């Protein structure tokens, strides 16, 4: 190796760090060696290095988005048993999981159903899938969100905080029905809904359908206005089945009674 090559090789780590190209910094010695040995044209070597950087950059971005999304772990769509919810079409839901048009229009998804039917699991599963497809998602318990927004309002930062939430293509508001208007001004929730209207999507899960939403917003007029905006572009899914949690516990109990001699039967769901 000539003196110049060595000097250049010595400078590379600094240059690559400055340009924030960690993958090339890691891989270039091996790729350069192959290129030298096989007499690759410079363009081929350069393309190989850049392709590796781009591929890993996409992976790093997805890993970052997954971390920031705060999704409940393990609740992915491939672990969701669609056969357990007759009212839900797996094909339709998988189409939603690709994102595209409905996210571009700021369409909302409203998931209604009693406790234990899999609303949070399904919401998180959709979140996981959208992140894999390159979107940004944030999963929040609605009561926590309302609290954060109220604090922001007290600090005169409500508009800034709502604007920051714009970076998420989909906000998941889990358990909207647990919000009480006694939680002081739930009008912060209305402001969020208005700000995202026709621009950015929300997925809302709730035990109670609209009829009971007067308990959430400060007055009936605001309830109507909030529902109006939410449903204008919305996909409404009702999950009116029995609790999956309870059903799987019952299946377990029944299986134990039927097969007292054998070992624990294999279940698809561990229960919690
Ligand atoms: P909800 O939010 O409607 O109260 P969850 O999503 O928390 O219900 O579901 C309760 C538990 O049952 C979770 O552990 C969830 O993973 C599981 N579960 C519910 N429905 C299904 C399903 N169809 N397939 C697999 N697991 C499910
Ligand atoms: Mg839930």
Most confident of 197-206, 220-229, 259-268: 197-206
Q: Summarize pLDDT for 147-181 with one digit per residue, the tens.
A: 999 999 999 999 999 999 999 999 999 999 888 76
Ligand 1 pocket at CB < 6 A: 75, 80-81, 84-85, 113, 115-121, 244-245, 269, 272
* Contact between residue 26 and residue 20 where contact means Cβ atoms under 8 Å apart: no
d(CA 6, CA 262): 69
Site to substitute for ligand 1 among 77, 121, 178, 269, most atoms within 8 A of C-beta: 121
d(CA 166, CA 199): 9
Greater confidence (12 vs 265) lies with 12
Greater confidence (218 vs 230) lies with 230
Greater confidence (269 vs 81) lies with 81
**DSSP assignment string, the chain:** --HHHHHHHHHHHHHHHHTT-HHHHHHHHHHHHHHHHTT--HHHHHHHHHHHHHHHHHHHHHHHHHHHHTPPTT--GGG--GGG-TT--HHHHHHHTT-THHHHTT-EEEEE--TTSSHHHHHHHHHHHHHHTT--EEEEEHHHHHHHHHHHHHTT-HHHHHHHGGG-SEEEEE-GGG--TTSS-THHHHHHHHHHTTTSEEEEEESS-GGGGGGTSSSHHHHHHHHHHHHHTEEEEE--S--HHHHHHHHHHHHHHH-SSSPPPP-S----
In the reported structure, the alpha carbon of residue 100 is separated from the centroid of ligand 1 by a whole-number distance in angstroms of: 26
- Give the mean model confidence (pLDDT) for residues 242-255: 75
pLDDT of residue 270: 41
pLDDT of residue 259: 59
Q: Summarize pLDDT for 204-219 with one digit per residue, the tens.
A: 999 988 888 888 888 8
The per-residue pLDDT of the chain, averaged, comes to 89
Ligand 1 atom with minimal separation from the 121 CA? 6
Residue 129 confidence class, pLDDT cut points 50, 70, 90? very high
Asked whether the predicted pLDDT for residue 6 surpasses 90, the reply is no
pLDDT of residue 237: 93
* Contact between residue 140 and residue 173 where contact means Cβ atoms under 8 Å apart: yes
Asked whether the predicted pLDDT for residue 261 surpasses 50, the reply is no
**Closest residue (by CA) to atom 20 of ligand 1?**
118
Asked whether the predicted pLDDT for residue 3 surpasses 70, the reply is no
């Amino acid at each position: 190796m000539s003196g110049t090559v060595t000097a250049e090789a010595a400078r590379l780590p600094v240059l690559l760090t400055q340009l924030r190209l960690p993958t090339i910094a890691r891989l270039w010695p091996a790729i350069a060696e192959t290129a030298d040995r096989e007499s690759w044209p410079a363009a081929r070597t350069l393309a190989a290095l850049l392709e590796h950087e781009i591929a890993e950059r996409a992976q790093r971005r997805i890993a970052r988005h997954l971390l920031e999304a705060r999704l409940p772990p393990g609740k992915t769509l491939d672990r969701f048993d669609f056969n357990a919810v007759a009212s839900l079409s797996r094909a339709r839901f998988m189409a939603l999981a690709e994102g595209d048009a409905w996210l571009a229009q700021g369409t909302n998804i409203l998931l209604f159903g009693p406790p234990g039917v899999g609303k949070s699991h399904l919401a998180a599963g959709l979140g996981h899938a959208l992140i894999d497809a390159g979107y940004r998602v944030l999963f929040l318990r609605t009561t926590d969100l309302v609290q954060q927004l109220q604090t922001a309002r007290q600090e005169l930062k409500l508009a800034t905080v709502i604007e920051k939430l714009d970076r998420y293509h989909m906000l998941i508001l889990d358990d909207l029905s647990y919000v009480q208007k006694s939680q002081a001004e739930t009008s912060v929730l209305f402001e969020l809904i208005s700000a995202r209207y026709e621009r950015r999507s929300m997925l809302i899960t709730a035990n109670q359908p609209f009829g009971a939403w007067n308990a959430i917003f400060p007055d009936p007029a605001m309830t109507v206005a909030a529902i109006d905006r939410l449903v204008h572009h919305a996909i409404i899914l009702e999950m009116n089945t029995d609790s999956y949690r309870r059903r799987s516990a019952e299946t377990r109990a029944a299986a134990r009674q039927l097969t007292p001699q054998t070992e624990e039967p294999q279940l698809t769901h561990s229960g919690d």
